[in-house]
Structure 1
Amino acid sequence: MSFHILSEGTGPSALVPTDLSRIPVSLISVHTDCVNRRVEGRVVHKGPLVSAVQDFILKAVIEEKDSSPHVSSQNNSINVFLLGALAKKFSQDVNQGDMILVSGFTVEKSPTASKDRLHPCNLLLSGDSACIYVFREQPSPDPSSLVPSKRSSTLEVSKAAKAPKYTYVQLGDLKAGSVVNVYGVVVFFKQPFRSRGTDFCSSLKITDQSKQRTICTIFCDNREKHPQIYQAGDIVRLHRVKAQLFDGSINLVNTFGFSALTFDGAVGGAVEPRTSSQSFHFDEEDKRTVEELRSWAAGQVLFPQNSASIPLSAVQPKTYFNLTCQLLAKAPVDSTCTLLKVWDGTRCPHTLLNAVVEPAVTEGPTSFSKNKENFIANVLVFDNHTEMARQLKPGAFLRINNLQATSGSSKVLGLASSQSEGDHLAFYLHGGTSYGRGIGVLPENSAPIQELKRVLDSFPVDVGVEELNDSDLLEVWGTPPESLESDCSHHIKLVPLSELKQSNPDQMHNVRVQLRSYQPRRLYQALKLFCRKCTSIQEIPDDELVADVFSEASKRSESCTPPWWALRGNVNLPGDSPDRTLSIYLPTHLVTEGKTKELLFLMGSTLEETCRLAASYQNVVPVTSSGGHLAPLDSSAPFLFTGRKRYYGCKRCSEAAIRNPSPDGLGVFNAKTLAEAFSVQLLEFVLLMKLEVQDATDTLEVLIWKDAELFLGVSAEDIAVNQEAQNHMCQTMDSLCPPESRTGRGPWLDLCLKTFRGKDDGGQDQNYYHVCNAPIIKNSST
C-alpha cells in the first residue's frame, strides 16, 4: 500500500499516474472493474480509528466534488473502509474537508445504505495495492516536484497542511442545491427529540444582517452532535448545510460532515464555543463575526416577549412560560409521566401541588426543610419528554420551555398529595415539540445559571429544627467550608460558650464542654458518601434499593460481544451446584498471566451472588449489556466490590463506561485506578453528626464531619463494613453522652471549634460552628 500527501495545484488529475482512469461515484457497482481505476472526493466524515482483534479499521465518507447536478446526494457520497497500517496513517494525517484520491480498492454491497442514505456500495482499501493521495492547499505549489512517476510501495508524506480556510454565505444569498457554511442568530429552536427513525431531530430558525429568517432542520444519531442552544439569542455557526427549496422558501438541512458551534449572544461576553467535537477551527476572524452578530442583534427586535425565562414568583395560572431552575429530585409516576422537583430560589404566590411519591423510586433527597419546601415546584413531564427526564441528574440546571401552569385538585390530577383537598397550581410539560416545548440542561458557567446561582446562594437555611432526619441535617448545615481543614491547637486559651457566641466568624476557639445530645440517634445513619469534585454529601443506598437495581439489570442482561481486551467465560457460585453459573468477562492479560482472581466483570447476578463472589475475587465489577456491549449498572449500585467493601460513584460527576482498566504503578488494581478507567468520580465514606454541647455558661450546637473519625477513633470506611468498628462507635458515644438509664454526665471535652458565617431562616447573618481536630477528654472540670 502507499500513502501520499500532495499540494493541490492544477487539480488531482494532473498529479497522479496517468494509468489511473477516473470513475464517477454514481457509476460504481459491485460489478465495477476496479483495476487501474480511481475515485476522487472530499472527506465529509472521518470516523475513529478502531483497534480490532488483529488489525486497525477506520470508516470515512467521501463526497464527489464535481458530480453532475442531476445526481442525487445519496449517489455521490460513499463509505470508504480502510484496514491495517493504511487506516492508522489515514487517522493521523487526513482531516475532514481534505480532497483525496483512492485506487486499488474493491467494491462491496453496503448493508447500511437504507439507514445512512449513502451509496448502495462501499469501497474497501486494504493490502499492497491500496493507494491514497491527499491534496491540500499550500502557497506557491510546485506539483511536478511532488508527484511520483509511479505508485510507490512505501509511505511518503510531505509537510503538514495549514489550517483550512472557510467561507460563509449570508442567509439572504442562499441558493437551492448549494452546500454552504453559515452564521446566524437563533430566534427560535426546538431541543433534540427522537424522530420516527433512529435519529434525533432538532429545528432552529436563524437570521443575520440580511434580515432573512431561515429554518434549519438537523438529524443526528445522538443528542450531543446537535447545536447546544440554551436560549433564543444564541449564535450558531453551521458547517456543511444544504440549502433546499420547500414551500417557496429556502431551508437548510445538515449533510455529511455537518458540524456546529454555538455561542452566547450577550454583548461583551466571552466568545467560548460550545461543541461536542474534539477538534474544530476557530480564529480571530470567526471571533469578529460572532461579536458583529451580537452587536447587530442587540439593536433588533428578534424574539417574542414570551421567549424569556420568568421566575416562579411571577407565574400566573392558565399561562405558558419558560423556566430556568435547578433539579432537586425526580421520580417516575408511570410509563408516560415523570415528576421533577425543581426550584429557582423564588416563591410562587399561588399554592402549588405537593405530589407525594414513594421514597424508594425517588432519585435525590426524599424530604426537604419546611422553609425550602415552600419554594419547590412539582413539574409533571409527559410522553416524549420522559426519555430526557430519565437522563437528568439531581443538581442539574435546567431550562424548561413552554411549561403550562394550570389549576386542579390533587384528586383530579390522580396523584397522592400531602395537601388537603382543594385547588392547587400544577405545572405540566405536555408531549410534542410545539412552541419549542422541551427540556435543556444548561452548564454552570452559562450566563442564565450564573444569575440563578446568585439567587440560590442567598437562600436562607432553616436552623433550630427540634429533630433532624438525614436529609434535614444536610439541608440545614450544608457542606462545611474547605477552610475547616486548618489546624486548630488545643493550646489556644479556653473560652466559655457564652463568650464564644459573641466572637467574630472565621476564628478558631478552644472550649471545655460536655456532650448533652447528638444526632442522628441511630448512629449508622451518620455514615455518608462524599464527592470531592462537587462537594456534595450523599446518602448510602440501602440494600433493598441496590438489590432492585441488580434484579432489573439481570432481567435486561443479554448476550453481548466481549470487548477486544476481554474473554468471556462462566463461573460457578461458591457452594452451589454446577447448574448455577454466571457470565463473567476477564481481561485477557490477566488470563495469560494466570491472575484471574484479581479482577472480573460479572453479568446477570443478584446482589447476594455478587457479594458471595467478592469473597473469592479481589475485585468484582457488576455489569449489564447495552446495545450488544458491556455497560455499567445504574449509579445507585456500587460499581466495585472488593471483599466486603463496596465503592460508589457520584451520579452528578460520573460518566461511567466499561473500558480496559490498567493496574497502578505496583501492578495492583484498586478502587482509584478502576474508577479512573471507568470515568467514575469515586465517593468517599465520611461521618456527619450534629452535637449539642454545654458548659456552665451556655449550650451550643456544632457540626462534626471531617474530623469525626478522629473524634470517634475509627475510620468511616471501617464502619461501613466492620461490625467491631460499628460497636466501637456506639461505645464511644455512650461513654461521651451516657444514656438516660445511667446516672451522671459524660466527661469534659476540650474541643477546637471553627466559626463560619451563614444565614438564619429570616435571612439574617448568623454564626455556625464546626469541630476541628480530635477532642481531649478530661475526667473532671479542672
Structure 2
Amino acid sequence: MMSASAQKYIYTPLDQITEGVVVNLYGVVTFFKFPYRSKGTDYCSTVTIIDQSNAKLLCTFFSGNQDTLPKVCSVGDIVRFHRIKITQFNGEFRGISSNGFSALVFEGTAGAPILPRTSSKTYSFNEEDHKIVESLRVWQMGQAHFSKSRLKLSEIKPEQYFNLLCQLVGKAELDTASYLLKVWDGSKCPEPTWKVCVEEEALEGDSDFIGHHQHLTVDVLVYDNHVKSAKSLKVGSYIVIQNLHAKLHNTINENQARNCYLEFHLHGGTCYGRGINVPSENDIDVKELQKVLDAVIPNENPISSVDLTSDNELGQKSPPFNAIERCQQLSVTVHPTHQGWLTTPLCTVIKTKPPQKYRIRVRLKSFRPQHLYQSVKLHCSKCSSLQDIPDEEKLDKSFQVNSTSCPDSDSQNAYWYQSVMWKRHHEDRTVTIHFVKKYDILQNPEESLIMVEGGTFKEFCKLSREFNSIIPVKANQADLELDLSTPFLIQGNRWHYGCRKCSSLKSIEALSSLPSDGSWNATEIAKALGIEPLTYTFVMSLTLEDETGSLNAYLWRQAEQFFQISPSEIFMVNLLQEQLHDIMTTLCPPGKPVSEYPWMDCCIRSYNSCDGEEQNSFEIFDTLVTQRNSYPS
C-alpha cells in the first residue's frame, strides 16, 4: 500500500557516494544471490547494482526474517534502497543496511507494470519515482550488463548456463539430495533430451498431460540447497530457474554408434543467482508465456503420433518399465539417470576399445583396502596427489610440537584478534586462543573464528563443538604461523587440510582482509592464506564379475554419491563408519560363496591409463546403493 507521505527523498548517483554516509539509491541489478541462511541465525542476501553513471556497488544485507530482504528475482531488476549505509573494504565501496532500511524492487522490462515487490505495508512512491524507474528500464536496454539471460528451450545450446521461465507440470523426489522437476515453455529443445525414469506413483502431476506433451517437456534435476524450495513448488505454477546448466552427455548404443543428448541440472550453491523463483502473476513475461502455452495445447497431436521414449531418440530400445522395476528389486544398487541403457556383459566391456560407457550387472567378488578407514584419502586437484589422512596419534604429536610452555607476550592480542591464555597446570602447558574480530568486535561462539595455539587433539574436538571455525597455529617469535601437517581449518566434523607441495603460505594476518559481512567460508580462508585445499575422497578397487568374465574397477570420484556418505566426516563420526562397514558387508557378505552375493546394477566407464604401459582402466559412475537395505540412519 502506498503512503500519502509528502516527504521528498534525494537519490545519490553511485559515482558520488562516499564512505560512512547513509544515502538513498536507485540502481539496476547486475548480479545477485537469493537469500540464504548464514552461519548464524540470520539470512543473507547479496546484490550488485549499477546506474547511468556506470559505477557499481556491492550490497550485502542480513536479516532474521527472510521476507524483509530485497525481493530481487532477476538480473535487470530495478531496486530502490532507502537508508543504505556506505562502507569501504579493500578500496571498494560496499552497501549495508542501516536503521530504517527499506527496499522496493521493480521488474526491469520496459513497458511492464510498475508494481513494487516489497514487504513494507506502506511506502512512498510518486511521479518522480515513476520517471526514474522508466528511465532505468530504457537505459539498461542498450547495456552489455543486461544481455538476454532468459532463454527458451528452443534456443538452448549444449554446455550453456541460462535462466528459464517455464511452467511446472510434474515433480518427484529422487533422494534427499536431488529432486526432479518436469517443465515446459511451449518450445522444443533442438537436441534430444534426457528423461529421468521414476515410478508413476512417485510423480506428482497430470500423467496424461505429461505423456501427451513429453516431446515438449524437459526434466530438470535440482540438487542440494535447492531441494527444499523445489518441494514447495505447486504443479501448474510458473517458475524461473536461474543459472540452469544444459549439460551435454555422450553415450554409445548397442551398434557402437555415438549419440548425444542434453541433461538439465540446477547445481547446488547460490553463485550467479542460482536458484528457483516464482515470479509475480503480473510479470509481463509470465503473461506472454501463458498465451504461448494456451496456443500450443489445442494444436497438440495425440500421444500415439509421438515417439515418447528418450531412449528411442538415442537409437536404443528401452525395456518395459516393469522389467526395469523387477531388475532393481533384485539389485542392491541403482543408477537413476541411465535406466534405459542396455546391459553389456563384461566380456564385451573388456574387449571394446576405450573410452566407452556401459551399464553392467555384476557381483562384487572382492574389494581393497580391506580396512575401510584406509579407503578415505586426501586429494589435491592441482598436483593430483593422494595423501593419507593423519590419525589421532599423529595429529596429537603435531599439535604438541606447536605448544609452548612460555607463550611470547608479543604474540598476544593484535588489532584484528584478541587473545586469552589457558594454563594447564597439571601438564605444565598453556593453550592460547586468539579470537578473530568482526567489525572490531568479538562474535558469539557459534559465529566465531578462533586461532588455537598448543591444544591437544581432544581439546580441538571439544572446541569444535562450541566454535564455528578453528585454525590451529604455532608461534614463531612474535608471529603466528600455520603448520600444514595439521588441518588449516576445523569446522565441526569437517577438518580441512592443505597441500604442502602446492600451497604458498601467506601471513596469518591475511585473515584480517576477509569481508567482515560474510561467513567463515573454507574456500575464502584457504585463498586468503595461500593454501591449495585438499578434498576428501574414497578410493577403492572393486573386483566385479558376471557369467562372462571379471575386471577391476575403481570407485573414486563418484564414491560419495555411491555410498551417500560424506568422506570428510567419516573419520569423526562413528555412525558413518558403521554405515560404510554395513554397506560393504551387504555387497560382499563374508562366509558366503560368490554365487550368493547380491547383484549390482552399475554404470561403468572405460579409459586409457599409462602406468608403465598403456592399459584399459575402469571406473564406476552415476551409481548409488539402494536405500532398501537396513543401514543405520
Common fold by TM > 0.5: no
Structure label with greater radius of gyration: 1
Taking structure 2 as the reference length, the TM-score comes to: 0.44
Structure of higher RCO (CA pairs closer than 8 Å, 6+ residues apart) = 2
